[in-house]
Structure 1
């Protein structure tokens, strides 16, 4: 590979010639090996994170009434405009309810008229009784005044008659006049009591009639509300697109009975799309709201300029990833579900980097041979490719460890090894995921 990339790493490499020894030597000589010393290196941190294109405006249209699907005017992939009819639901049952609601309104309005008439009648009774009471009270005052005069005349006649100053007939007339007026007063008082009772009953009737009017008006309001609801439900029998887009899923067929909130179709807008990406917590500090980024869409083989529009403020507790949304401009042939790659800005980071030719497999497990106290020791490692010549090490080795280059396939654990003089060896190692 070439030396492109911002970081360079250094390997200390021991290069020697393999020593030969006789099979029948008295002693087994150490195996001469080439080694490299592990160092922290600065490498470019250009990362590409994978994600999926999704629609910002996506909705599942549901039925708001129960009825049979009479017409379904779209299929999956159908382009629709805002307000376009998607489906028609049979609302004959609702039409019957509408007629019933209208009849209830008429009945309730008639009840209001009856209650209002009863209230007017009760008020008339109150007014009549009050007038009669007023007249009776006036008559009572008049009769009481006449009685007072008659009683005064009666007392005068009673004094004069024994003296012979007036005839007996005048005394009888005075007595009769008092009796008549007293009887008249008793009659007037009875009329007053009856009028007061009538007023009380009439006022109670007014209150009852007023309550009946209120109840009847409430029934009218309830019936009108029911009628409005039923009328709205009639309108819900026609399902329309809330925005322009494409039908991506059909969930019902013609003739099926659709219940309330039952999904009919899924509608997505193609005008506003975004890339949803899982960003590791180690990289989330490199992502900011409003940040301009580059998105590569493999299916279109195109680079698209995007902008970070949302960072979900909580990480997946298992994967330790944050969900980031990148708004994308309208792009020809770009549709939801496409695979995309988000490329973050170039920055440098420090990593443990070793040559690829230090790796060896033992029983399906990747590892390296470290030189420890003059002996080869196998160590499993966790690595990630940087390029054809180098890998980044995440676990298994530490800075300063000496690793055997090109280990012999037959090299065994604890084999004694010999390292010769080293020379410096450098090679570019751009980090590209």
Structure 2
């Protein structure tokens, strides 16, 4: 029976206590032959916290905790009337910009028509100028008549130049108006996207496992609304020691024991995280489980029969194990004080048990720790 321990106390208080005489055992390494049994937790392959992407009051919340939902089903509706007003303003800006764009186009068309007329008149005037120049050279007309023809050409040329300049300016106005139209349309598109964010739907089939808001509450951007998990696609997440990770391959079958259901079910390794924890040196392995209405996220599970090869593991006496606030661990003697270390356990080995993390070779663990032993309690090691 693992004794329950009291919560750790303040270090300063522990230093005023009298030392407690204890017996210790040194963590040793041993060769073990046999199957590994690793503990883990059932989790959903898909788990997401649905959040609000815009600010608004929650008008509808159509689900409760435990409800099953389908992909695309309405989860929540936010009041986005303020965004609707902003969208209307953005659309009004589009209308103004389009009107300016159309006005600039009309101005260009009118100027082009005027330019065509001016160029035709200029061409006629230039023909008349050339004729007057020949006649004046022959003495058939006076110099004043030639001067009048020259003046007419100059006036029409100036008019043509002014019209061409106005066309260039109007064309620049078209470009600016077109840019304003595009900018205003982008504003409308953004507002419409924000309006769409006021409707929150389920991204996949699943079960609502937690509800973080109620109807009538004001939701800010990024605020959690509900947690959705795909309970039809579950997996066991386990920590595999580095000594056994080489034997784990994606796709290989594994047996998973679920004590809560008194069932052993067949699973398949679906993922091996290719990076070990820097402290425990364990690798995270995901084992996909078949659909089973009785299996739920958060259940405790054991991966059995992982390895049958000889392996080197750390071992401690089972009498050193304690529970503190629901966590299994041991008290290690450090600087003549009791320090609690959570541990990850493997298979029992006689009076001992494999330890995958939480202790190191050579650590001194306290045997049969007193029920009132606290963190940082002064320790005096007695004879073994």
CA drift of 1:301 comes to 1.3
- Segments of 5+ residues of structure 1 without an aligned counterpart are 1-39, 151-176, 367-382, 397-410, 414-433
Distance 1:268 1:352 in 2: 37
Instruction: Classify 1:222/1:290 alpha carbon distance in 2 versus 1 (closer, same or farther; 3 Å).
Output: same
Instruction: Classify 1:119/1:352 alpha carbon distance in 2 versus 1 (closer, same or farther; 3 Å).
Output: closer
Structure-to-structure mapping, 1:305-324, within 5 angstroms: 305-324=266-285
Conserved? CA contact 1:351–1:392, under 8 Å: no
Partner of 2:96: 107
CA drift of 1:217 comes to 2.3
Partner of 2:83: 94
Conserved? CA contact 2:243–2:311, under 8 Å: no
Partner of 1:201: 162
Partner of 1:75: 64
Partner of 1:302: 263
Conserved? CA contact 2:243–2:312, under 8 Å: no
Which residue, 219, 242, 254 being the options, matches 1:281? 242
CA drift of 1:70 comes to 1.2
Distance 2:136 2:165 in 1: 36
Partner of 1:51: 40
Aligned length: 308
Distance 1:365 1:118 in 2: 89
Instruction: Classify 1:350/1:260 alpha carbon distance in 2 versus 1 (closer, same or farther; 3 Å).
Output: closer
1:260 aligns with 2:221: yes
Secondary structure at the counterpart of residue 138 of structure 2? helix
Instruction: Classify 1:45/1:137 alpha carbon distance in 2 versus 1 (closer, same or farther; 3 Å).
Output: same
Structure-to-structure mapping, 1:128-207, within 5 angstroms: 128-150=117-139, 177-178=140-141, 180=142, 182-207=143-168
Secondary structure at the counterpart of residue 118 of structure 1? helix
CA drift of 1:277 comes to 0.8
What TM-score do you get using the length of structure 1 for normalisation?
Answer: 0.65
Select the structure of larger CA radius of gyration.
1
CA drift of 1:195 comes to 1.9
Conserved? CA contact 2:234–2:290, under 8 Å: yes
Which residue, 229, 250, 258 being the options, matches 2:211? 250
Deviations 1:41-69 (A, max 9, x none): 97532111111111111111111221111
Which residue, 361, 374, 387 being the options, matches 2:350? 387
Conserved? CA contact 2:36–2:308, under 8 Å: no
Conserved? CA contact 2:58–2:76, under 8 Å: yes
CA drift of 1:100 comes to 1.4
Partner of 1:116: 105
What TM-score do you get using the length of structure 2 for normalisation?
Answer: 0.73
CA drift of 1:242 comes to 1.3
Conserved? CA contact 2:259–2:300, under 8 Å: yes
Conserved? CA contact 2:37–2:347, under 8 Å: no
- Segments of 5+ residues of structure 2 without an aligned counterpart are 1-28, 321-330, 334-345, 363-381
